[in-house]
Amino acid sequence: MTTFTQSEIQTPTADQKLKPATDKGYTLGVQGAHNLAFGGLEYKDARPKFTDPLQERKHVLEHMAGTFRVFGRMGYSEGPAGHISVRDPVDRETFWINPLGMHFSQICVSDLVHIDSEGNVLKDGNQSAINGAGFRIHAQLHKSRPDVNAACHAHTVYGKAWAAFGKELDMINQDACIFYKSHAVYQDFGGVVLEQEEGRRLAEALGHRKALLLVNHGLLTVGETVDEAAYLFCLMERTCQVQLQVEMASVAGLKRRIIDDEAAYYTYFNTSDPESLYAAFQPDYKLEVKLTNGEFLR
């Protein structure tokens, strides 16, 4: 059985031939949302491309506010905890984040706070205080990962429950394979992140991966777009829920089946690229537009 390293997963070659234990004969093609669509018609949820940074900023902030609404609908709020950040397309040394003390379900574009790498609130965004722990986490993530334009962190029920075990997720279903060798566990809970050094340690633990389970804390996901990071977060929370249910069934004597490395990697390769993950979040985003009559876009 072939086991793939992290570098192979991050930079697979288009012509790489898998060598599965069966005779399936899987072959890797080209990653992208085109793998999702069939029928010869245009796929309307493809990730847009921009030539104007100001138009990109408008799109990014609308989808950021929509993400907060989705998180609110999913029940991811926990008092002042939880934050999403997005790198600004116009000034990439700055980022946007949510105001402190506002429920996810109420956030609009005009509520988002624009902040620089030193923690200064900029004048073209909402003039509001932000979560101090959130700044220390997100500032370090954006600094250490130029490819990361968005990061999501919240204290969710199933994420907190599974993270308490300090174990990675098992590849027990197709959806879990999106995290195949692309998530890690941050084992060293040092209390609420009020120190810059703790933010650096979190960024180091994440490395070049997509997601992090923070022991005794919660979940963290990142992406090229807020849509990618958001879909990964929602999926990771549900995957933690399923993992916990499987653990309980195992206690009753049922035996779990783990997906082998070849099938897990094939699934990862075809479903976990930034284009596909952007597209995967669009049904929830569009539902939020409909449910709120676009109220969060103001």
272: domain CATH number is 3.40.225.10
Mean pLDDT of all residues in 52-79: 97
What pLDDT was estimated at residue 23? 53
Q: In this structure, is residue 247 part of a structural domain?
A: yes
Residue 10 inside a domain? The answer is: no
Which whole number is the average pLDDT over 242-270?
94
* pLDDT band per the 50, 70, 90 thresholds, residue 24: low
What pLDDT score was predicted for residue 5?
A: 45
φ, ψ of residue 141 to 5 degrees: the values are -65, -50
Residue 40 pLDDT class (50, 70, 90 cuts): confident
Q: What number of other Cβ atoms are within 10 A of residue 16's Cβ?
A: 15
Place of tokens 């959130």: 134
Min mean pLDDT across 121-130, 186-195, 233-242 is at 186-195
Query: 24: burial class by Cβ within 10 Å (0-12, 13-18, 19+)?
Result: exposed
Q: How confident is the model at residue 3 (pLDDT cuts 50, 70, 90)?
A: very low
287, 293, 295, 297: CA torsion to nearest 10: 60
Q: Which domain holds residue 74?
A: 48-292
In this predicted model, which residue has the larger pLDDT, 171 or 28? 171
The 3-class secondary structure across the chain, one letter per residue, is: CCCCCHHHHHCCCCCCECCCCCCCCCECCCCCHHHCCCCCCCCCCCCCCCCCHHHHHHHHHHHHHHHHHHHHHHCCCECCECEEEEECCCCCCEEEECECCCCHHHCCHHHCEEEECCCCECCCCCCCCECHHHHHHHHHHHHHCCCCCEEEEECCHHHHHHHCCCCCCCCCCCHHHHHCCCEEEECCCCCCCCCHHHHHHHHHHHCCCCEEEECCCEEEEEECCHHHHHHHHHHHHHHHHHHHHHHHHHHCCCCCCCCCHHHHHHHHHHHCCHHHHHHHHHHHHHHHHHHHCCHHHC
More confident residue, 205 or 8: 205
What would the mean pLDDT of 240-265 be, rounded to a whole number? 95
* Residue pointed to by tokens 């609420």: 192
**pLDDT confidence tier of residue 35, bands split at 50, 70 and 90:** confident
Residue 13: pLDDT band with limits 50, 70, 90:
very low
Checking if the pLDDT of 266 tops 80, the result is yes
Please state, for a pLDDT cut of 70, what percent of the chain lies above it: 89
Interval 6-26 mean pLDDT: 48
Number of domains in the chain: 1
The encoded tokens of residue 20 equal 């599965």
Q: Which of 37, 17, 41, 39 is nearest to 29 (CA)?
A: 17
**Quick check: is 135 in a domain?**
yes
**Is the predicted pLDDT of residue 93 greater than 80, yes or no?**
yes
Q: What is the CA radius of gyration of the chain?
A: 19
Dihedrals phi, psi of 191, to nearest 5 degrees: 90, 180
Residue-wise pLDDT for 159-183, tens only, equals: 999 999 999 999 999 999 999 999 9
User: Which position has the token pair 């069966």?
Assistant: 22
Question: pLDDT category, 12, cuts 50, 70, 90?
Answer: very low
What pTM was estimated for this model as a whole? 0.90
Spatial contact of 166 and 185, defined as CB atoms under 8 Å apart:
yes
pLDDT band at 223 (very low <50, low <70, confident <90, very high): very high
User: Residue 16 has what pLDDT?
Assistant: 46
Residue 8, pLDDT above cutoff 80: no
- Is 31 within a domain? no
- Residue 270 maps to a domain: yes
Give domain status of residue 207, yes or no. Answer: yes
Q: Which of 200, 83, 225 is nearest to 150 (CA)?
A: 225
Q: So what's the pLDDT on residue 22?
A: 47
Name the band, by pLDDT with cuts 50, 70 and 90, for residue 269.
very high
Question: Over the chain, what is the mean pLDDT?
Answer: 89
Spatial neighbors of 119 by CB under 8 A, at least 6 apart, are 135, 139
pLDDT at 94: 97
Domain assignment present for 40: no
